[in-house]
Structure 1
């Protein structure tokens, strides 16, 4: 049975026939190209979006909205969609904002949200074609696997096939997973630690090893960065360990290792590394993403950036 998708356009003017919607058509064409059974986009006036969303039943595999993600008084798509999401995926929204910033500083003004409503993947996108193109760029390489995670086939998609058989893994595999190998703050260069961390996290039973290596880039918020210094609260090491333990409990099929730098770092140096190993790649990718997102959101770490113009900027302080 073909997987279903639905595109909803929030636009008062398009609903009134003042202009022809193009962003919804773009998303529909893309979804159909990926093999989703997708009807023409549904166009709803902004004021009617809450009622339309509340009336949705039998959600498809994918629900994408376009429009109503800004801060105008009638931009209420996000407010209507967000309560549906029971499994948020904030990393996707962050990737979307980062993609948008490549072309416009206003990308961060979008209140985009993404996640699962039951087994339905949901994301709110801006009403512009450019914003939808950015969303497609982020979602295209991951959408099939995301949908597959909820359908019990984490490697679904025409380009992938299946990454494992239906037979369960041997008992000794589960005995090696669901643990944190190590998680710590350090003032030592991570480049010297990654190899040992990877070796400790990997075992012969692990068929997938995913590494996230966050390096210092030369720009932030549209400004050039010369260098930066990471500082942390005295509790940061313990918080990092607690976050890793919680993520591990939620991803029992993976082994995890993580380290975050403190001190002065140059452009290109590693600042934050996560290694996730699992018997199958879907579990490794999911665990690595979850741990990276949680550490960024919860561990009390701040950075002082030295900008190319000679000024300094603190990030993370509240």
Structure 2
């Protein structure tokens, strides 16, 4: 090791005493930043361990497979709807770092044999995490193709032993205004906390996923960490994020968007290009990444391309009335 005498060192290279005395604090900060890179959102070690997953199959007859190009990770994590952090598409990526996701628990109530509050680590124990490449279509006519990591919602719900009275499942997002700036906004039209719901047969369908990751990583906060719903044949707002409550009900629950704008957003929210939103057409969508010169405008598919798997759920239903 070369040891330089003080006379050999320019004053510009000498570390100020105040910085030297804070070196331990700085080292701790560096370690914390390194940990944050490995564990985005402060997720627990149990969650990270749970992301030992089975990669998506590529067989054409696999309902979880699509040959469509995946949306780049950067676009999928920087263009989001998560009104708890703001209404602009880049607000979630900008502000969601304030969200604490560890510890995390989910309260289960209603028509079940095993109600209670469950720690996320306990819910993930024994779960077979798999990768599924799903399309996600938003009502504003933009879409993505994302490799989600998760497990069938049916596997989780069965653990709570729903009774014969359980006809619907309602989900609730975290309510924590101290960390979710959108919940503090005086201009918000949402009656927090945000809620969504599914019919029991929709919830138990094998396509319905509880996601804990994407692109081989744990969920970023702006995408709904630490656990969210993914229902690929419905509009994206049905895939509720950062879930803290699951409620089993006999009667159909009202979702947040039903309460806000019942003429625009129905309970089912199935992707249907034949039914226009009151303010825009649903026949086409912009696949992200998209720009003025490369819009990637494509035709919207019935049930978002999953008609073969889910159309039977709505047999004999008027899909214009039950939108």
Sort the TM-score into its range (normalised by shorter chain): under 0.3
Q: Which has the higher helix share?
A: 1
The higher radius of gyration belongs to: 2
Q: TM-score, normalised on structure 1?
A: 0.25
Structure with greater contact order relative to length (CA < 8 Å, sep ≥ 6):
2
Q: TM-score, normalised on structure 2?
A: 0.24
